[in-house]
Amino acid sequence: MVILPRQPEVNIGTLGHVDNGKSTLVQAFTGIWPSKHSEELRRGITIRIGYADAALYKCNNCDEPMCFCSTKSCPNCGQETEFLRGISFVDCPGHHSLMVTMLAGAALMDGALLVIAADKDCPQPQDREHLAAAEIVGINQIVIVQNKIDLVDQAQNIKNYQQIVKFVENTIASKAPIIPVSAQHSANIDVLIKEVEKSIPTPERELDKPPIMHIVRSFDVNLPGTDARKILGGVVGGTITQGEFKIGDEIEISPGIQVEKSGKSFYQPLTTEITSLQAGGKMNKKASSGGLVGIGTLLDPAMTKADRLVGNLVGKPNLLPTVLYDMSLDIHLFERAIGTEKQITVDRIKTNEPLALNVGTAVTAGIVSSARRDIVDITLRRPVCAEEKSRVSINRRIGDSWRLIGYGRLR
C-alpha cells in the first residue's frame, strides 16, 4: 500500500483495449497490481474497476525528465525528493463485454491515460469505444501512452505512432502528447510523469457545497469467523465530487436497497454514521474532493459486501438529488456503433426497445416508453439518484454485448 503525505488530489483513469497493458502501467507507477478480485487474477484481465494510489515526486538535483519519479528517494542520484501531489488511478476493464463497467469508472476521472499497445494495429475496437466514452463524460485532459515498445522494432513503433496520430485526429485527444513507454520494464516512466504533471492539472474543487460521493466499490472487511463483538460495519468506496465528509457525520445512501412492503417493491435510502475515513493509504478525520476514499459505516456489512451498493450516491440526509424511476433524455446518437469489429450503423431508438444506461457510477437498464427524434423517455428497472443535467451513456445490445451508441442529458 502506498502511504501519501496527504489525500490524493486527482483521479486519473486508464483507457484502452484489453491487453494493452493498463494494469501493468499502474503497477509501474505504484508497485500495486490494481486488479484484486480472484477471477481477475485467474484470467489476467481487469473485470471490476481497479484502483491504486501513487505519489509523484521531483528530485531537485537532477535535470528533467530524469528528476520525476514515484519514490521518496531519486532512483538516479539517491537524493531525497520533493513531493508534488498524490493521484488515484482508476483502472477500467478493456474487454468489450465489460463496457458498462468501464463507463461507470469513467465518471470518476479528472483526466486519463489512453494506453495503446505498440505491438497491435491502432485502433483496436475498445480504443475507439473508450475514447468516445471519455468524450461523453467530459474528460478532456488526456495523455496517450504508447506501451510495449520493447516488443517490436523501431519500424513497427514508428508505424504504430503514425496510426495513433491518425486515430485521434478530430477527437478530444487530437492535441494530446504521445509518450512511448515499456510499462513492463518501467522505461520512460519519468517522461510520462512529467507529462502528467503538465497535462492533467488538479481541478478546482467546490468544498463549500453539500458533500456528494459516487460509490464505485462496497465491501465487507471482516474475515470469516470474526468474533461478533469485533465485527466492523460495511465500507463504501468512491470519489467525493464536492464538499467534504467528517468522522461522526450522519449520511444518506441513495437510492439505497430494494425492499418489499404490502406486495410492492421499491428502493429505500439508507442512513448511517461515518466511523472511519481512509484516503491516501491512511486514516483521516475528514476527506474532501479528489482521489479515492473509503468510508467506514455502522451498516450491516451484509448490505455492502460484493459491491452491492455500487452506483449509489452518498450525501447528507435530505440533500441528495432526486431518485428517478423514469427519465427523459435529450439524446445524441453516433453514426456508427463504437467498439464493434465492423462499423455498424446506429438506427434510431424505438419504443419498447431495451437499453443499458450509465449515470455516474450507476449501471441500470430500462425500456423505452416513448421515442421521438431527439428525445426518449425510459422506464428504469433499477432507479438512479442523479444530479440535474447529468450525462447518460446509452448502450444497445448488439450481438453478445452491450455497445455504446450515443449519449443523452437528463431533461
pTM of the model as a whole: 0.89
Supply the Cα-derived Rg of the chain in whole angstroms: 22
Residues of the chain with pLDDT under 50: 36-47, 94-98
Q: Which fold does the domain 212-315 belong to in CATH?
A: Elongation Factor Tu (Ef-tu); domain 3 (2.40.30)
Dihedral sign (CA 257, 260, 264, 270): negative
Same topology between domain 10-199 and domain 323-410: no
Residue 179 neighbours by CB distance under 10 Å: 21
For residue 148, give every residue at least 6 positions away whose Cβ sits within 8 Å of its Cβ, in sequence order, or none: 20, 21, 117, 118, 119, 182, 183, 184
Over the stretch 220-238, which tens digit does the pLDDT of each residue have? 999 999 998 999 999 999 9
- pLDDT for the residue numbered 42: 37
Concatenated DSSP letters for 335-363?
EEEES-SS--B-PPP-TT-EEEEEETTEE
Over the stretch 155-166, which tens digit does the pLDDT of each residue have? 999 999 999 999
Query: What's the CATH code, domain 323-410?
Result: 2.40.30.10
- pLDDT for the residue numbered 367: 98
For residue 68, give every residue at least 6 positions away whose Cβ sits within 8 Å of its Cβ, in sequence order, or none: 56, 57, 58, 59, 190, 191, 193, 194, 197
Residue-wise over 117-156: b if at least 16 C-beta within 10 A, else e? bbbbebbbbbbbbbbbbbbbbebebbbbbbbbbeebeeee
- Does domain 10-199 fall under CATH 3.40.50.300? My reply is yes
- pLDDT for the residue numbered 43: 35
Domain chopping of the chain, boundaries:
10-199, 212-315, 323-410
